[in-house]
Amino acid sequence: MNFNLSNINWKSQATWVLLLTSLLHFTCSFTANFITVLLPDISVDLDVPVDTLNWITLIFLIAIIAITIPASKNIKRFDLKKSIRILIFLLILGLVLSAITPNMEVFLFSRLIQGASIALIPTIDLVIIVLAMPEEDVGKALGIIGSAGYVGMTIAPSVTGFVSNFVSWRYAFLIIVPLLVFLFFLIRYIKVDNWVVEKNPIDFAGSIIYIFMTILFVLGISSFRMNNIFYLIGFFILLIIFIFYEKRIKNPIYNLDLLKNYEYLIGNFASMVNYFVAFITVYTLSFYLQLVLKLNNLDVGLLLFITPVIMIFGAPIAGKLSDKHDPTIISALAMILIAMALAIFTSITSLPFYIIIVAFILQGIGQGLFSSPNNKNVLTSVPDRDLDDASALLTTIKEVGKMLSLSMFNLICIIFVGYDEIQDDILGLCQSMRLIMIISLVLVIICVLLLFISKFYLKKNKV
């Protein structure tokens, strides 16, 4: 009996699409979030100096930010399913190379491959959801894959830390490989209609300008040495050249006209702020809980676990709500909850412990409710022909939010702590943390206002 999943009824097909995209989101999130816990062992095994360790994370981020937009445009030249199988193969290759690496050079190359693969898989994932799912189920589907991503993010450090502790850090890179092999074969059974393959010329010049522009941006904000100013100057020069060049060619790597869509712009800005806040709160609160409140690693891990666990359960609910109610309103209400959490964090040093737990809960609910409706709002605000550009920018802007938050906190720490070890100046740490939380709160309030403007003015007046 020849059993072909492509010929089964729509509901079953939608289930398989959800399974594929959810597991892909899980694997990408898992791969992107487990490296930090392995760095000490990698440093010892490969004899890596401390100043070089940063490149393990940096080269991964550079690959994501620099490659996503140029490469996503070229996805249109190929079948979606073929593209994602190639990317899965490359991700497997990158993970295996990391596991067997003989030296730091090969290891960094493997991280570059992993970053390039992860740059595009979530982008295609979002496109598949919008094209392959019934319109009334898009929000719910985005919520489910968002929840899968949160699961990967949550369990990655503990699972890989366990493997590294009892076996080897090298085997930690192989944990996800069997699942990727399964997905490699599963993709052939998924049916994606409405995807038009276009053999347009490749914009090599625009791609090269964009890649160098983003590399200079990442290097410019990664630290605060004097020569970083020249990186940022180079970035702005290339940005101007990129805009002028892309406006004058027929097949640009990114449709700049999308930036005239204010709903689209506001949704992307809100997404960047959300990831700005999500990253920096975990990063700074881990220092505060350990160095100020003197909690052990287990207690810190359990407290930081509160927010992502709530997000896991909140994302599908938010997605389902966005199919029945305006996603912009849901995103704005979610941001209000995040603002309430940040308001508590700004005064964390003078509050009782149970209030801090309340803030973690509020943040978890807010971020769990935000992403799925906002993603739907962004992706459905553009024509289907521009979905590759829309999803690529959405993927890129999230990583930019993370990098900006860390860079801004590092700059604040230099002001309040100087170049001393952060544990040697607890007062400076608390001042730095309070200021970054205030900045985050201001950004979130701006997002709330913009989202309400988008709903009650821009949509009403079709601006």
Does the structure show a pLDDT above 60 at 5? no
Residue at which a domain ends, from 250, 281, 310: 250
In a domain, 399, yes or no: yes
Binned at pLDDT 50, 70 and 90, residue 444 comes out as very high
- Between 100 and 424, name the one with better pLDDT: 100
Residues 229 and 246 in one domain: yes
Q: What is the mean pLDDT of residues 373-398?
A: 80
Does the structure show a pLDDT above 90 at 387? no
Closest CA to 315 of 269, 376, 267, 370: 370
Looking up residue 348, the CATH number of its domain turns out to be 1.20.1250.20
Instruction: Give the model confidence (pLDDT) of 50-60 as tens digits.
Output: 556 667 877 88
- Please report the pLDDT score of residue 1 as a whole number: 35
In a domain, 423, yes or no: yes
Expressed as residue numbers, the domain containing 141 is 8-201
Q: What is the mean pLDDT of the chain?
A: 80
Residues 187 and 241 in one domain: no
Residues 281 and 388 in one domain: yes
Residues 280 and 392 in one domain: yes
- Please report the pLDDT score of residue 237 as a whole number: 93
In a domain, 413, yes or no: yes
Q: What is the mean pLDDT of residues 317-343?
A: 86
Of all residues in the chain, what percent carry a pLDDT higher than 90? 11
Most confident of the following: 1-15, 215-229, 244-258, 430-444: 430-444
User: Which of 304-313, 354-363, 420-429 is the least confident region?
Assistant: 420-429
- Please report the pLDDT score of residue 3 as a whole number: 35
Instruction: Give the model confidence (pLDDT) of 107-129 as tens digits.
Output: 889 999 998 888 888 777 777 77
User: Which of 42-56, 278-292, 305-319 is the least confident region?
Assistant: 42-56
- Please report the pLDDT score of residue 119 as a whole number: 81
> In total, how many domains does the chain have?
3
In a domain, 3, yes or no: no
Closest CA to 450 of 310, 271, 284: 271
Q: What is the mean pLDDT of residues 444-462?
A: 78
| CB of 33 closer than 8 Å to CB of 22 | no
- Please report the pLDDT score of residue 273 as a whole number: 92
- Please report the pLDDT score of residue 8 as a whole number: 38
| pTM, to two decimals | 0.79
- Please report the pLDDT score of residue 125 as a whole number: 76
- Please report the pLDDT score of residue 9 as a whole number: 45
Does the structure show a pLDDT above 70 at 11? no
